[in-house]
Structure 1
Amino acid sequence: MNRADALSLKPFSPLDLRSRPLVWQVAAVFAGTLLLALSSYISVPMLPVPITMQTFAVALVGAVYGWRLGAITIVAWLMQGAAGLPVLAGGAAGAHHFVGPTAGYLFAFPMVGALVGWLAERGWNGHRVGLAFANMLIGNALCLFLGAAWLAIFTGAEQAFMLGVFPFLVGAVLKSALGAATLRLMARGKAAAG
């Protein structure tokens, strides 16, 4: 087995959160919710679904934190939004967003983070940039599929695709490439430090 194959089989944990004390993990959840909130403010207003950097941040949190802590972090961020903190797209807040047209995307986020984290733990990470890109793209696709499925209740299937999937396809590819590049840099940094 060559070095690249051996590295790809190692668990991807650039922050080593699993081995850290609980206080570190709580701090990581807090930092992750801040990253997710900040990504929500990078937004291009569109109706009914705005373009944001949320899917990038959701996938990155899942990949870096692992599937469990990633999903916990994303749920904590969504709970902040439901409780009224301005952490959702464009500073939106309130529980009503969890029953409106964009609710499918919101409910998809923890699943996306968990899936991306699970795949990252199994070698689809920064040690293999092609697999990291595929991992991020799968996460984006899952988000678009679940979000559009919910949106279809409000608009019908064809409109849901035209409003909730089609405008986001190029962005999904670009965000996936950025996510894979970020994971690659983290893997290289971890290898250089360790």
Structure 2
Amino acid sequence: MTTTEDAAAPVDARRRLSTTDLALVAAFAALISACAYVGAIPVGGAGVPITLQTFAVMLSGCLLGPVRGFLAVALYLGLGAIGLPVFAEHSAGTGVFAGPSGGYLLSFPLAALLAGLLVKHLAGDRGKTRALVVFGCSLAASVLVVHPLGVAGMKLHFDVTWSQALTYDTPFWIGDLLKTTVVALVAAEVHRAFPQLLRGRR
């Protein structure tokens, strides 16, 4: 083995997910699955149910950071895609991604990634994660990723105008603001107790 390879080996090792990382990813994937069942009340003309999924997705990103948050949500979607009934209303399979809620589902890993990046770099590295900062980061991910992709998914599925698709999305905003508030409060307290969650590489 060359000197270059020797130097690269520790770097590669540090980049691997630890057992704790894997356990956190699996635990938060399970949390998202559980939250998909809570509520599940269809609203608006689209019939897309209100659940606590977005709460768990944003909590994953804000608590675990971008990489582990992304992986937790991706694992959740993978479990649903292979047939486990982990989506809202006990649905499963790849067909769900082509349904009215498909855009929202596909947005979740990206939203967790963005929320994790924002929290990590705006607050985590400074060790001063505050609820207001987390709220802004989580809300930004929701506004920039979740709602646009959700609206796009409903527009394509129902073949309606952008305006009509936006009206389908409107009922979710109040719930998202409430869930974002809870995410901010929980994440801020957890990071005060366990600051290493965001100070590490992920």
Taking structure 1 as the reference length, what is the TM-score of the superposition?
0.82
Spell out the pairing of 1:95-174 with structure 2 (5 A cutoff): 95-124=94-123, 127-141=129-143, 142-153=145-156, 154=158, 155-163=160-168, 165-174=169-178
Task: Give the whole-Å Cα distance in 2 for the aligned partners of 1:170 and 1:80.
Answer: 29
Question: Structure 1 stretch 173-182 or stretch 137-146: which is displaced more?
Answer: 137-146
Name the amino acid aligned to 2:129: H
What is the alpha-carbon distance in structure 2 between the residues aligned to residue 116 and residue 124 of structure 1?
Answer: 12
Preserved contact between residue 64 and residue 117 of structure 1 (Cα < 8 Å):
yes
Alpha carbons 1:43, 1:90 under 8 Å: kept: no
Query: Does structure 2 conserve the Cα–Cα contact (< 8 Å) formed by 1:119 and 1:135?
Result: yes
State the one-letter code of the partner of 2:32. L
Is the 8 Å Cα contact of residues 62 and 114 (structure 1) preserved in structure 2?
Answer: yes
Gaps of 5+ in 1: 1-17
Can you give the 5+ residue segments of structure 2 that lack an aligned partner in the other structure?
A: 1-13, 196-202
In structure 1, what is the Cα distance between the partners aligned to 2:189 and 2:64? 16
Q: Is the 8 A contact 2:40 2:88 kept in 1?
A: no
Mapped to 1, the partners of 2:150 and 2:98 lie a distance apart of 12
| CA distance in 2: counterparts of 1:170 and 1:83, whole angstroms | 32
